[in-house]
Amino acid sequence: MVKKMIKNDIRTKTAASFISIALLSIVVFSITINILIINNFGIYIKQSANAEFDNIATLIAETYKETGNWDDTSSRIAHSLMMSGYGIVVRDLKGNEVMKIASMFSMMGLANNSKTSTKTLPVVVDGKKVAYVDITYTGTMPMNKLDYKFLYDVNKYIALITILTIALVFIISLYVSKYLTKPILNIAKVASKLENGDYDVRVEDIPKEEELLTLTAAINHLGASLKSQGMLRVQMTQNIAHELRTPLSTLKSHLEAIIDGVWEPSKERIESLYEEVVRLSNLINDIELLNKIEIDNLKINKARFNLSELIKILLINYESIFVNKNQHLEKNIEDDIFVNADKDRLSEVLINLLTNANKYTGEGGNIKVRLYSEGQYAVITVSDNGIGISKEDLPFIYERFYRSEKSRSRDYGGSGLGLSIAKAIIKAHNGTINVESILNEGTKFTVKLPLDL
Ligand code: ATP
Ligand code: MG
């Protein structure tokens, strides 16, 4: 029931917990105060009773001195003594009772024996003992009225403070919870907008609290990456369409020409059509490969082999593409570096890096290929002094179908899948691939693979 009445939000919960903590501390505080006061009162009352006993003895002595006899003394002090709760019996030095005043309470039968305290004091007049007085405190009032009033006042103030504190705590907790929940609500708003596909929204009010700051940064980052993912998806579909359209329209127009009898179906023509078909099927293979990578289904057949030898052979096989562009190829291959890897897949990666360097570097450019070991890794670098990649393009080059602005403006013939595949293959080998590039100056790719020592 109570649970249902309390709203299930941070605001209510903060207020409730603040108030219960405040109430608990007030209760503990007031119990402690009451115990302390009552205990100290006991001591205080004993002390004041002792002082009172002395006062009564002095009063008797002084009154006796003035009046000179016990009867007058008795009638003078009887009234005030009776009202105070003290009873006295005065005996002369021989032990005869000369005066007796019973307290009002004992007369009324209210005296409580357990609380009665008695003391015998000498009555001294002019330095001489004239009698002894037994003073009895009947103890019906362990605390006098004033003491009670004090305790009552203390508790009244505690009650007042409690009410004030609750009011104050309530206001503070409302403020604190509002302060805390505002950024969370902001984030929730942004999150639901993101959910609805509005990828441009961001959390604008950056909170100061560390946890909320992390949450805000995460949601803003999510927004940014959803936006770029969305853009990439659109671009990717466009790119697939584009990549398929070019060879298909070539095929279509050439086949039409042959059907219409415009072209002879010569061996060369059919061979060139065949090349287009191969290009298409390679593209489909690449897309398929990437999807396998995506769903973590890439088969890697690892075996120990000599990476130095593989690179040397690839460089010989691909030398012609560099020669054709008058590019100078500098090789620096450390011997006998062994890795435990999928040789065919690694070859794909290296061929893509070599053909990229070749494609994106002009006539007469320089291409450097290095292999060396560094710690636990085999390091392969492929650098060129070609067209380079702009800062804006750099974060996206591993995205499928992504081609830099500059490489798209001139047709370099790639489809933008090579590096996505390379990255996935290197990752599957627990390696890394990194790029450094400056637009119009050159590019350097660095691949690191665990050595097989
Ligand atoms: P594919 O390799 O699928 O035939 P591609 O070479 O265009 O096509 P990637 O190898 O993935 O695709 O490269 C992606 C993009 O990165 C390239 O289109 C190009 O814009 C840029 N790029 C890659 N290597 C270099 C390089 N060495 N110099 C300049 N730009 C490069
Ligand atoms: Mg490529």
- Residue identified by tokens 């032990």 is 95
What whole-number distance in Å separates Cα of residue 427 and Cα of residue 66? 116
Q: Is 356 in the pocket of ligand 1 (CB under 6 A)?
A: yes
Q: Is 416 in the pocket of ligand 1 (CB under 6 A)?
A: yes
Look at strands 97-101 and 86-92 and give their pairing. antiparallel
Instruction: Name the residue at shortest CA distance from atom 18 of ligand 1.
Output: 403
Residues at Cβ < 5 Å from ligand 2 ion: 352, 356, 414, 418
Instruction: Name the residue at shortest CA distance from atom 12 of ligand 1.
Output: 416
| The predicted structure's pLDDT at residue 394 | 93
258 contacts 269 by C-beta, under 8 angstroms: yes
What whole-number distance in Å separates Cα of residue 438 and Cα of residue 124? 114
Closest-lying ligand 1 atom to the alpha carbon of residue 386: 28
Ligand nearest to C-alpha 239: 1
| The predicted structure's pLDDT at residue 140 | 47
DSSP state of 18: H
CB neighbours of residue 123 within 10 Å? 28
| The predicted structure's pLDDT at residue 106 | 65
Pocket test for ligand 1, best of 244, 280, 360, 369 (most atoms within 8 A of CB): 360
Terminal C-alpha separation, the chain: 70
| The predicted structure's pLDDT at residue 108 | 63
If we measure between CA atoms, which residue out of 188, 77, 185 comes closest to residue 133? 77
445 contacts 435 by C-beta, under 8 angstroms: yes
Q: Is 422 in the pocket of ligand 1 (CB under 6 A)?
A: no
Rounded to 5°, angle at Cα 326 from 321 and 329: 70
| The predicted structure's pLDDT at residue 114 | 46
Pocket test for ligand 1, best of 318, 397, 446 (most atoms within 8 A of CB): 397
Alpha-carbon dihedral sign for residues 40, 42, 47, 49: positive
CATH number at 210-294: 1.10.287.130
Closest-lying ligand 1 atom to the alpha carbon of residue 387: 29
Look at strands 432-438 and 366-374 and give their pairing. unpaired
If we measure between CA atoms, which residue out of 63, 127, 65, 145 comes closest to residue 101? 63
| The predicted structure's pLDDT at residue 144 | 59
Residue range 2-160 in CATH 3.30.450: yes
Task: Give the residue range(s) of CATH 3.30.450 domains in the chain.
Answer: 2-160
| The predicted structure's pLDDT at residue 141 | 47
100 contacts 64 by C-beta, under 8 angstroms: no
CATH number at 303-450: 3.30.565.10
Specify burial of residue 236 (Cβ count, 10 A radius: 0-12, 13-18, 19+): middle
Pocket test for ligand 1, best of 391, 401, 407 (most atoms within 8 A of CB): 407
Q: Kindly report the length of the chain.
A: 453
333 contacts 369 by C-beta, under 8 angstroms: yes
Task: Give the residue range(s) of CATH 1.10.287.130 domains in the chain.
Answer: 210-294
Instruction: Name the residue at shortest CA distance from atom 22 of ligand 1.
Output: 356
Beta strands in 4-85 (DSSP E): none
Max distance between CA atoms of the chain, in angstroms, equals 163
CB neighbours of residue 311 within 10 Å? 24
Q: What 3-state class would DSSP assign to 135? A: strand
| The predicted structure's pLDDT at residue 43 | 73
Residue type at 75 in one-letter notation: S
Q: Is 207 in the pocket of ligand 1 (CB under 6 A)?
A: no
The mean pLDDT values, 10 residues at a time, for the chain of 453 residues are 63 83 88 82 73 87 90 86 81 89 68 65 90 78 63 86 88 86 88 90 88 91 88 78 83 92 89 87 84 75 96 95 96 97 94 96 96 97 96 90 74 80 92 96 97 91
